[in-house]
């Protein structure tokens, strides 16, 4: 994934200013995309470029003298403007007036005049885009007396400020007790002073460990306590090498090919205090592979671990006795907080509407203080406020929640209320598409005409409305691991009950069994 897209004409600046800016952004941990170093052998160049352009939160357009000679540059500029994301113009040896084609002998005027012989429609589109870019607040090399180093530093500062501001948005749309708990834990981390400190957040699935970890990470983004930070998501389901590569990029500014090279980098030591968040650890070996030598971390560094298993974090600490350590056991929400959270998702208010007040209390209480269950159940019932819902759907949901003690079975209430097509899409995502880019997933769904019949966008919107799936800042599909596990369990149960090949094959052991038995789905 990339944070910053660098739009430029290669022959003008790729080996000079663009390369230097790319390096400076990498050092600032801003994840820039520059086509040549970012593309791997065998990748489709233009496709990869437009994927990077789409996912980046910041676009930097470097307008050089011959920029308008490149159709690629001009088309990328149009796409950047259409995205409505931040565009930072850099006027490198040209003035904004050149982009407006005010001088008949100017380089942009001449370049577009030549292109006008081929496509008047494209030229008009390009001229409009250049005029719009010329009116944006940008950076001019002339304002820095031709000093490229100063210009580069100013651009990096602007990019970092914007990315930091975008990351500081609330990690949860409605928060109950999160700020207070976060403040207490930050004080705990600060009391560890110059030691390397480890904080573990322990509790059952769906209780809010990852949300609290994100809130802590977000709080540290507001200051410069740590020069380098990284958040390793969903360790339980991720490939260790992928996580090691992320650590190497963020902490060492280096791309590693394998675990051995990663360990060599780590053992050279750190040159500054770092913050490492390791989310959803379920085996001690995962931590050891990600932090092969904790003594190589600079004094004052912090590690935050989330796990469902207290034995795992206790075993980690037994091996790292020279560190300061604190464990926080996540608590279920109080009755009052549970009701407020449920009402916010069900009514977008902390109070239930008139006739549903008593039902809402009973439903919130039936979720047993578990934030995920409150969110999913509330979203499921948000659009169910007719008289028939009052008399049937709501009471039946309460009865089901009270009856089911297993959290996965509680979550199936929302799944069961979906249309057959939306249920199929949910299972597709749970088994195969967590982490996939939205537009790629939609292309796959579009190809499944028999299952979705052109309504893929509507079904996907239904899943989002019910908080069964979400999109991150890069428009990747994300799903709580309990919801993912619930979906996969549905597939297993269906195949077991109907004695047929599972509808989705994601588990290597399951695939092996099917192939060995030469099973054919009936």
If 0-12 CB within 10 Å is exposed, 13-18 middle and 19+ buried, where does residue 522 land? exposed
- Distance between CA atoms of residues 71 and 122, nearest Å: 9
- Distance between CA atoms of residues 111 and 103, nearest Å: 12
Tokens of 490: 């549905």
Could you count the other beta carbons within 10 Å of the beta carbon of residue 197?
A: 22
Q: Contact 374/333 with Cβ under 8 angstroms?
A: yes
Residue in 76, 215, 421, 438 annotated catalytic:
76
Tokens of 73: 């540059």
- Distance between CA atoms of residues 15 and 461, nearest Å: 44
**484-to-58, 72, 195, 437 alpha-carbon distances in Å:** 31, 40, 38, 17
- Distance between CA atoms of residues 443 and 446, nearest Å: 5
Question: Read out DSSP for 106-154?
Answer: SHHHHHHHHHTTT-HHHHHHHHHHHHHHHTS--EEGGGGTT-HHHHHHH
Element (H, E) at 318: helix 310-319
Q: Contact 430/483 with Cβ under 8 angstroms?
A: yes
- Distance between CA atoms of residues 151 and 32, nearest Å: 17
End-to-end CA distance of the chain: 40
Where are any strands of DSSP class E within 256-344? Answer: 274-278, 302-307, 324-329
Q: Contact 478/435 with Cβ under 8 angstroms?
A: yes
Tokens of 417: 């209320």
Element (H, E) at 385: none
- Distance between CA atoms of residues 33 and 55, nearest Å: 10
Region of 253 (left: φ > 0; alpha: ψ -120 to 50; beta: rest) is: left
427, 56, 244, 19: CA torsion to nearest 10: 150
Decide if 519 is catalytic: no
If 0-12 CB within 10 Å is exposed, 13-18 middle and 19+ buried, where does residue 358 land? exposed
Tokens of 356: 């549903």
Active site residues: 76
């Amino acid at each position: 994934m990339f944070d910053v897209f660098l739009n430029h004409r290669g022959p003008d600046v790729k080996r000079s200013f663009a390369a230097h800016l790319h390096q400076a952004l990498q050092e600032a941990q801003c994840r820039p995309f520059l086509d040549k170093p970012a593309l791997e052998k065998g990748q489709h160049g233009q496709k990869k470029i437009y994927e990077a352009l789409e996912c980046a939160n910041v676009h930097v357009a470097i307008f050089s003298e011959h920029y308008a000679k490149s159709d690629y540059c001009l088309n990328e500029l149009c796409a950047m403007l259409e995205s409505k994301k931040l565009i930072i113009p850099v006027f490198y040896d040209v003035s904004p007036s050149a982009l407006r084609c005010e001088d008949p002998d100017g380089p942009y005027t001449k370049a577009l005049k030549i292109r006008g012989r081929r496509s008047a429609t494209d030229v008009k589109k390009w001229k409009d885009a250049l005029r719009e870019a010329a009116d944006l607040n940008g950076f001019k090399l002339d304002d820095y007396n031709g000093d490229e180093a100063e210009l580069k530093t100013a651009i990096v500062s602007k990019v970092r400020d914007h990315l930091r501001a975008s990351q500081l948005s609330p990690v949860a749309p409605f928060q109950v007790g999160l700020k207070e708990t976060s403040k207490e834990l930050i004080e705990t981390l600060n009391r560890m002073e110059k030691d390397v400190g480890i904080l573990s957040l322990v509790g059952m699935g769906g209780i809010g460990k990852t949300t609290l970890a994100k809130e802590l990470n977000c709080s540290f983004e507001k200051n410069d306590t740590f020069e380098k930070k990284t958040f390793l998501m969903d360790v339980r389901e991720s490939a260790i090498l992928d996580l090691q590569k992320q650590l190497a990029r963020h902490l060492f500014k280096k791309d590693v090919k394998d675990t051995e090279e990663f360990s060599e980098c780590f053992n050279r030591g750190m040159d500054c205090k770092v913050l490492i968040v390791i989310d959803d650890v379920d085996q001690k070996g995962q931590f050891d592979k990600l932090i092969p030598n904790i003594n190589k971390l600079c004094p004052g560094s912090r590690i935050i671990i989330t796990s469902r298993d207290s034995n795992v974090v206790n075993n980690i600490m037994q091996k790292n006795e020279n560190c300061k350590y604190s464990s926080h056991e996540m608590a279920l929400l109080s009755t009052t907080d549970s009701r407020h959270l449920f009402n916010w998702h069900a009514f977008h208010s902390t109070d239930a509407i008139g006739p549903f007040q008593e039902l809402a209390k009973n439903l919130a209480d039936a979720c047993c203080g578990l934030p995920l269950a409150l969110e999913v159940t509330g979203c499921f019932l948000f659009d169910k406020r007719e008289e028939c819902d009052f008399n049937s759907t709501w009471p039946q949901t309460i009865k089901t929640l009270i009856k089911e003690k297993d959290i996965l079975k509680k979550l199936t209430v929302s799944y069961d209320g979906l249309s057959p097509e939306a249920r199929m899409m949910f299972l597709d995502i749970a088994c195969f598409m967590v982490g996939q880019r939205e537009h790629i997933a939609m292309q796959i769904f579009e190809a499944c005409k028999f299952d979705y019949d052109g309504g893929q966008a509507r079904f996907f919107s239904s899943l989002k409305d019910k908080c069964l799936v979400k999109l991150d800042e890069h428009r990747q599909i994300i799903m709580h691991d309990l919801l993912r596990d619930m979906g996969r369990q549905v597939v297993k149960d269906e195949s077991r009950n109907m004695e047929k090949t599972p509808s989705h094959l994601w588990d290597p052991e399951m695939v092996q069994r099917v192939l060995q038995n030469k099973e054919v789905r009936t």
